[in-house]
Structure 1
Amino acid sequence: METMIILLIFASFSGILGQTDMACKSLIFSKNYSFPAELTYEGDGGQLLKFTVCLRSCTNLTESVMFSMLSGLRYDYFFIILGGGPDANTGLIWVEGRKVDVNFPTHDTRPRRSICLSWDSYNAEMVLWVNGKITEKKEFEKGRMKYIDPRIFIGPGQIFLGGKPRLDVGEITDVHVWDRVLNPGDVKDFYYNKKEKVGNIINWRALKYDGANGDFIIGPFQCKS
C-alpha cells in the first residue's frame, strides 16, 4: 500500500493542467501507461465527512480502472478497482487498508455500467449502487475515516494491484463527486443520465485535471449502450 500511495503522489507532480467539458467523452488508459490523472478537488477545504462518487465504466474492455481518494500520506484513503474484461463482475474496495470484495450483478449483461459509491463517516457506512440499485451495504468502525483536502485520482487498475497493464484499454466517463450521500432518487437520476445531476466537488462537465502528458487520452466513450 505504501508503494501505491507513492505512485499516486508522484503522478500529480509531473502533470499538465487542463479544464474541459467532458460530456460524452472519457479518459482512456492503454498499453504501457503507468500514471493516473488527478482530478481537481473543488471543495472549500476542511474535512470531508461524507461523499458520493458516481461514474460509468464498460465491462467489455480488457483493462480494469481505479478510482481513489486520499489525504496526504496518511492511511485515510478510499480506493476502488472496477473490474474489466474477464473480471468484469468483481471489484475491490479499500477502506483504511481493509480490503472489501464486491460483486457486480451477473444477471445484468449490459456492457455500460453505472456505479455510485457513498461514504458516511458519522454512521461509518459504505453503500455501492450498480445501475440504480443497491448491491452492497457495509458498516465499519465509527469515527475513524475522514478526509482533509482530499486528492482524487483515476487510472489503470492493474498498476495499483502490483501488476502490469493489460494490452488494450480501460476507460472511465461521467465521473461526479458530491460532498454528501445521495438519496435513492438522486442515484436513479444519475443512472438515467439527467443532465442536472452533476457533482459539486468533481463535475465531469467542467472537469479540471492534472495528468502526465501521454498517460491518457481524451476520446469519445467507446462502450456501446
Structure 2
Amino acid sequence: MMLLLLLVMLTSCAAIPRDLSNKMFTFPQETNTAHVRLTTSRQNLGAVTVCLRSFTDLKRAHSLFSLATPSAIENFLIFKRAASDEFELWARNRYVILYGEDYELNTWHSVCSTWNAVSGVMQLWLDGKPSSRKFVSSGSNINGPMLIVLGQEQDSYGGGFDSKQSFAGMMSDVHMWDYVISPDEILRYSDHLSFTPGNVLNWWSLDFQIVGRVLIEDQQKTL
C-alpha cells in the first residue's frame, strides 16, 4: 500500500505540459527546498531571452531565474541584489551588475533579460525600460543538459540551494526564446499585448515539476 501511494505521488509530480494562462506560481515562504523545475530538451543556445513577471516584498537578495548545466552553474541567471536598485545578470559563469533599476516592493514587475554569445552583451528590461547594454561573456554557447529553476539559485547542478537567496512571492508568464527578441516584442510583453511566445519555454504550454510548497493559483492582477 505504501509503495502504491509513493508511485501515485511521484506520478502526480512528474513534468507535464500545461497551459498556465492567467495562473501564477506562489512561493509562500523562505525555504531551501521549494522550487519549480522547467523542462526543455534544448542543449545548445547561442542566444537567450527570458521574460517573466514577479511580485515580492523581499528586501534581501533573491534569484528570479536560474539555468545551470554541468559545466557552468551560472549559465544564465537573473539575480536581484539586496540593494533596491541593483540586479546581477549572469552568462557562462560571469556576471555584470546593473544599477539604478526601479524595482519597487509589492508591485508586479515585468523582467526580461537578453544575451548573445557572439557579442557577449547582456541587457535587462524592467517594465519595458532598458538598462545599459554590458559585456559579460562571448565566444561559447550554453551547452549541455539544462536545469532551469524558479524559486532558488543553483549553486550546484540542480541543487546547492540557500534559503537566503530563495524567492518568496508570486511569479507568472515565464517565456524563454533561443534568440534576442526585438525591443518592440519586449514592450508588447511588458504591456500585456499580443507577442510571440517563447520557443524554449512557453507559459501557455509549460513542462514543469513542482518540488515542495509551491502553489498554482489564479493570477492576482493590480491596476
> What TM-score bracket applies, with the shorter chain setting the length?
0.7 to 0.9
Aligned equivalents of 1:65, 1:208: Cα separation in 2: 20
TM-aligned CA distance change 1:28 to 1:82, over 3 Å: farther
Structure 2 counterparts to residues 179-194 of structure 1, below 5 A: 179-194=178-193
Q: Deviations over 1:146-172 (max 9, x none)?
A: 233422111146997844478x94221
Query: Does residue 93 of structure 2 align to residue 101 of structure 1?
Result: no
Q: Deviations over 1:89-133 (max 9, x none)?
A: 332233333343223533978922111101100111111111112
Q: Deviations over 1:158-198 (max 9, x none)?
A: 997844478x9422110000111011111111112223431
TM-aligned CA distance change 1:16 to 1:107, over 3 Å: closer
TM-score (norm: length of structure 2)? 0.76
Number of aligned residue pairs: 206
**Among 128, 136, 139, which residue is 1:140 paired with?**
136
The equivalent residue for 2:6 is: none
Gaps in structure 1 of 5+ consecutive residues:
1-14
Compute the RMSD of aligned alpha carbons. 3.2
Shift of 1:203: 0.5
Aligned equivalents of 1:60, 1:143: Cα separation in 2: 38
Aligned equivalents of 2:103, 2:217: Cα separation in 1: 29
Aligned equivalents of 1:157, 1:71: Cα separation in 2: 13
> Structure 1 residues 185-194 or 52-61, which shifts more?
52-61
Rg comparison, structure with higher value: 2
SS of residue paired to 2:131: strand
Aligned equivalents of 2:218, 2:59: Cα separation in 1: 17
Q: Do the aligned residues in 2 keep the contact of 1:78 with 1:94 (CA within 8 Å)?
A: yes
TM-aligned CA distance change 1:158 to 1:95, over 3 Å: closer
Structure 2 counterparts to residues 197-208 of structure 1, below 5 A: 197-208=196-207
TM-score (norm: length of structure 1)? 0.75
The equivalent residue for 2:80 is: 82
* Matched-pair identity in %: 25
Letter paired with 2:78: I
